Chain A
Amino acid sequence: MAQVIVVTSGKGGVGKTTTSASLGTGLALNGKKTVVVDFDVGLRNLDLIMGCERRVVYDFVNVIQGEVKLKQALIKDRRLENLFILPASQTRDKDALTQEGVGRVINELRGEFDYIICDSPAGIERGAFLALYYADEAVVVTNPEISSVRDSDRILGIIQAKSRRAEYEQAPVKEHLLMTRYCAQRVANGDMLSVKDVQEILEIPLLGVIPEAKEVLLASNAGTPIILYPDCNAAVAYTDAVSRILGATSPVRFTSAEKRSFFNKILGWAT
């Protein structure tokens, strides 16, 4: 049974597209046939982050409007056999998405794929609404700061009230909290909200904590999902998150500040 997972946040710039790319890649690495759909019509980024920008010919809007077949618009990932991308249009705006049209495409994708990752645009307008409307699960990407938490709370309310599952009184959308850009040292210093603070407010299960890592920016620029970077904490954390989507229950890592070793302390005193 295909699962539709929306990656959403309300707030912009918290790491939705980075997360969509890495979760999609991670699921494909686990042998799941996966498609990542870019709902950010007009401001498309997903193809950049997944390194297929130059291969975009047709897009999501073309499919919705019946100009091309779904197969013509799907881009197959160069690295992974099981991974596909349905890019957004750069030249249109979000009014080009219709509820009925999105539903038709999602249904068609359900027949082909194990996982359909919907990369939501920021905000709570049409694009964000349609990205979450057909979801079975939601990954709510949240940074450890108060405005991001508020926006996540808002988007959770919309998921609970306006998603298709809510409308048809089916089992509710399964919600996951994914904390990104987490800096355990700054949490310890009291500069950032802790995982516990955020969970107290949002009251949804934790899917993972992605530590702030300099490699994330490099990965975006290189068009390689961060999950493919070896020796990077963020990649390890995304790999853990993917395994939890698939049912694993591993303990969450990277939530406490690294203890400075005795040697480092001496270095610290010396300088």
Chain B
Amino acid sequence: MSTIEIKGSLFTFFVVRILSADTEQFAHDFRLWVQKSPGFLSSAPVVLQPSLACSLSHPELMSIMDILRNAGCFPIGIITTDEKTVAASKECGLALISKDPQKKAQSDRVSASAKVIPAQIVNHAVRSGQQLYAKNRDLIVLGSVNHGAEVVADGNIHIYGSLRGKALAGAAGFEQSCIFVRDFSPQMVAIAGYYKNLDEIPPEFLEKAVQSSLVNSQLSFSTI
């Protein structure tokens, strides 16, 4: 058992925009700001964002951080692409935070498409003796699954024709998987290893549009 867990999380931070590298001016202006809103930033983690025209050296950045700490807040990171400022923030131990909106949107899209594995779509009948396995994803069969055929998926299974053969969803153990069939007369259905043969399926569901799912480790059927 690992002693750590690593998760992603989203937080909101205050961003302090720095419009000039003049640290004395900054100290003065910041003091004024704190006087107007005392306690607002106390104990708050803040992120620095120097303006594009503002390039900060190591001592300049250090003194800005001191001013902030003296006011009770915790500078944790910096948003910048300026080389000198990037180097300075590394020395000061500030995290470099990227906030290029386009880049962010793109990376969101990449991670979103990496998470969604598109379903395997079969647009013909699955015939006697044929086996299909949709690994790590859903399986959609537009034709029928005939007697003696077997369709298997780690995710859900959708069959828009008749199911006369076997359908096994959640093959890797995912118990929330379901099997949806437009015309239900299976040899066998199974979800995450729990199965029922034709003989064990209540006859009122046969030849109907049926959803099969697991309820308390029992296969249960409902018409749809």
Binding site for B on A (CB under 8 A): 124, 150-151, 153-154, 156-158, 160-161, 200-201, 203
A160 interface neighbour in B124, B161, B164, Cβ under 8 Å: B124
Cα distance, A150 to B124, chains bound together (Å) = 17
Residues of chain B touching chain A, judged by Cβ–Cβ distance below 8 Å, are 124-130, 143-144, 146-149, 161-162, 164
What are 7 of the A-B contact pairs (CB < 8 Å)? Answer: A150-B148, A153-B147, A154-B128, A156-B127, A157-B127, A157-B149, A201-B144
Cα distance A158–B148 in the bound complex, in angstroms: 13
Q: How far is the CB of B162 from chain A (nearest CB, A)?
A: 8
Given the complex of chains A and B, what is the CA–CA distance between A95 and B148 in angstroms? 28
Query: Which chain B residues lie closer than 8 Å to A150 at the CB level?
Result: 128, 147-148
- A-side contacts of B148, CB under 8 Å: 150, 153-154
CB distance from B181 to the nearest CB of A (A): 15
20 further A-B contacts with Cβ under 8 Å, apart from A153-B128, A153-B148, are: A153-B146, A153-B147, A154-B127, A154-B128, A154-B148, A156-B125, A157-B127, A157-B128, A157-B129, A157-B130, A157-B149, A160-B124, A160-B127, A161-B130, A200-B162, A201-B144, A201-B164, A203-B125, A203-B143, A203-B144
Residue from B124, B125, B144, B161 with most neighbouring chain A CB atoms (10 Å):
B125
Chain A residue, CB-CB nearest to B165: A153
Which of A154, A201, A203 meets B129, CB within 8 Å? Answer: A154
Give B145 Cβ to nearest chain A Cβ, in Å: 11
Chain B residue, CB-CB nearest to A153 = B128
Q: For the complex formed, measure the closest distance between the CB of B152 and the CB atoms of chain A, giving whole angstroms.
A: 16
- The docked-state distance in angstroms from the alpha carbon of A200 to that of B128 is 14
- With a CB–CB cut-off of 8 A, which chain B residues contact A124? 129
CB-nearest residue of chain A relative to B144?
A203
| Bound complex: CA A150 to CA B130 (Å) | 12
Q: Are A201 and B146 in contact (CB under 8 A)?
A: yes
Bound together, the chains give a CA A160 to CA B149 distance in angstroms of 14
Complex alpha-carbon distance, A150 and B147, angstroms = 7
| Residues on A with beta carbons closer than 8 Å to the beta carbon of B162 | 200
Please, how many angstroms separate the alpha-carbon atoms of A158 and B128 in the complex?
9
Q: Which residue of A lies closest to B129 (CB)?
A: A154
